[in-house]
Amino acid sequence: MDPLRELYQQVIVDHSKRPRNRGKLEYSNRKAEGVNTLCGDQVTVYLEVENDVVKDVRFEGGGCAISTASASMMTEAVKSKSLSEVETLFEEFHRLVTSTEPGAQELGKLAVFSGVREFPVRVKCATLVWHTLHEAIRNKGGGA
Amino acid sequence: MTEKRIIEVREDFPILRQLVHGKPLTYLDNAATTQKPRTVIDALVKYYSEFNSNIHRGVHELSQRATGAYEDSREKMRLFVNARSETEIIFVRGATEAINLVAQSYGNSVLGAGDEVIISGMEHHANIVPWQLVCEARGARLRVIRLTERGELDLDHFESLLSPRTKLVSIVHASNAIGTVNPVKHVIARAHASGVPVLIDGAQAVAHFETDVRDLDCDFYVLSGHKLYGPTGIGVLYGKKELLERMPPYQGGGDMIRSVTFEKSVYNELPYKFEAGTPHIEGVIGLGAALDYLQGIGWPLIVEHERDLLQYALARLREVPGLRFIADPCERVGVLSFMLDDIHPHDIGTVLDQEGIAIRAGHHCAQPVLERFGVNATARASLALYNTRGEIDRLIDALLMVREVFT
Ligand SMILES: Cc1ncc(COP(=O)(O)O)c(C=O)c1O
């Protein structure tokens, strides 16, 4: 597959056009905002965490296809996961988009982002929402 | 005929002869910076390999040659913008530094509490933030000329903003975000009728049509060398002598003083009063070579070719389904800012890059004007004298490909 098709796989285009879990989460208890300084794109991640488990997650904002799809698929991937599982996913995802080293764990659907690797300037687009999620997890008490 | 000449012109730019991702480079990011002709690159190499030395202070041969080349460039620049005297040509780092110089030196000395500076709704951040800084420091106020739907200055609104409180008008000649060429001569005449001086930001204008500061009667004119086929890190502030003479220095140091004691320093004459420290010597020399190059090509060819190419590009882009321009000014340079369906400009940029096509995607350091038109980023293709119809065709094909990827 050529690098472009690899980057913009159908699943990614689909999520970018119809993002899942987009919008404010009224009853969230953790929240963070992230900005991609390169393009000014913004994303807000809302979490409802109970007993160290992500009960619900939503996001607002986004921008390019990569960042919107990444946000959308992140929300699907982390729902019902424990916070430590989420941290591991984040590390694995980061490895996926920045290196060719095989990860320790299966990423499932998120593996479609492997094409980003070939586009170093776009790595930030894919990881912005994950960094923001990480930030939100640490923001205890920061509700919507 | 013109097209044939342009093919020859392309040969003067070594960087254009390369493949990017296996495709011929199509460089359409000229509003960000232009490419450099071989003669500019050679001038830099020659300076460093034959007469590198400091200027204005050496008795030795090399210093005299370097000083001569440096001052020759000032004279070339004087002719290029048609200034009355070379003392009105001040070398700075670029348009940004030139505006900061005027804001800090002129602005700081004339602005008082309640005074006003007028800018427009289509300014680059470089013509917004320096005024915000000085206005805040002096308790003055920034007023902004509204834009029409087409992306032109609302001149009635401008008239209504002019008042006894107005101390300066600072507007862009050609917009880097939407391409509008403003009726600056008219604006200057109206401001002068109220006794208000005017700064014109010519960063996006000077490479595309002849500049005549005496005909415009502007009080300050600023430009960047790197958008004019010259090196980065060098630019020019033109200022009317009477104003520059009254202005306090911007920076202190060597070269800008006549004598220094711990009690008092006497400032050097113009233009040196505003050129503190060892300047960007090779930048100035390279910029001089760029002006020589442009003179060799001649304005008639540049203007005719770019006009033709712009019309062609506008017509072809309008054929692309889902493409819309964010503004539609009557007078414009080859800056084409557009949206394609609801595809994010960064995604457009990435796909085009794979086709060897360089454009800019983002807010172009002009967030307020994009906001005015309800977007926070656009894709921007910007033209220069070496671009061809063939390159526009390649852009169009690639944009159709972008649509395919995202449907
Ligand atoms: C209209 C305008 N003004 C000012 C600038 C600032 O130029 P520089 O960054 O070279 O100082 C630019 C650069 O993009 C510009 O387009």
For residues B70 and B217, membership in a common domain is answered with yes
In a domain, B36, yes or no: no
Cβ–Cβ < 8 Å for B173, B333: no
For residues B68 and B130, membership in a common domain is answered with yes
Q: How many domains does chain B have?
A: 2
Determine contact: B313 vs chain A, CB below 8 A: no
Give pLDDT, residue A141: 58
For residues B26 and B47, membership in a common domain is answered with no
Region of poorest pLDDT, from A91-95, B48-52, B261-265 = B261-265
For the stretch B207-221, pLDDT in tens is 999 999 999 999 999
For residues B353 and B256, membership in a common domain is answered with no
Find tokens 């063939």 and name the residue: B390
Q: How does residue B264 score in pLDDT terms, banded at 50, 70 and 90? A: confident
Q: What is the CATH number of the domain that holds B78?
A: 3.40.640.10
Asked if residue A140 has pLDDT above 80, the reply is no
**Cβ B176 under 6 angstroms from ligand 1:** yes
Which DSSP symbol is given to B182?
Answer: P
Which is more confident, B379 or A106? B379
Which is more confident, B264 or A49? A49
Give pLDDT, residue B1: 65
For the stretch B225-245, pLDDT in tens is 999 999 999 999 999 999 999
* Among chain B residues, CA nearest to A8: B405
* Among chain A residues, CA nearest to B351: A4
In a domain, B340, yes or no: yes
For residues B273 and B286, membership in a common domain is answered with yes
Domain boundary among B264, B295, B326: B295
In a domain, B37, yes or no: no
Rounded to 10 deg, the angle between the A123-138 and A65-78 helix axes is 40
For residues B101 and B155, membership in a common domain is answered with yes
| Number of alpha helices (DSSP H) and beta strands (DSSP E) in chain A | 5, 3
For the stretch B7-32, pLDDT in tens is 999 999 999 999 999 999 999 999 99
Ligand 1 atom closest to the Cα of residue B227 is 10
For residues B329 and B279, membership in a common domain is answered with no
The DSSP H or E segment spanning A24 is none
What residues make up the domain containing B108?
42-295
Rounded to 10 deg, the angle between the A83-98 and A65-78 helix axes is 150
For residues B113 and B163, membership in a common domain is answered with yes
3-state helix, strand, coil in chain B (%, to 5): 45, 20, 35
Q: Do A8 and B361 touch (CB under 8 A)?
A: no
For the stretch B343-373, pLDDT in tens is 999 999 999 999 999 999 988 899 999 999 9
Helix/strand/coil for B31: coil
CATH of domain A3-138: 3.90.1010.10
Give pLDDT, residue A142: 55
Domain boundary among B270, B295, B320: B295
B95: CB partners within 8 A, 6+ apart: B124, B126, B201, B202, B203, B222, B223, B224, B235
Q: Among B176, B280, B369, B382, which is best to mutate for testing ligand 1, by the most ligand atoms less than 8 A from CB? A: B176
Q: Would you say the pTM of this structure is higher than 0.90?
A: yes
Using an 8 Å CB-CB cutoff, list chain B residues near A68.
344
Domain boundary among B277, B295, B313: B295
Q: What span, in angstroms and rounded, lies between the C-alpha atoms of B311 and B320? A: 15
CA distances to A31, A50, A91, B127 from A46, rounded to whole Å, are: 5, 13, 20, 38
For residues B239 and B226, membership in a common domain is answered with yes
ipTM, 2 decimals?
A: 0.87
**Cβ B399 under 6 angstroms from ligand 1:** no
Burial of residue B288 (number of CB atoms within 10 Å: 0-12, 13-18, 19+): buried
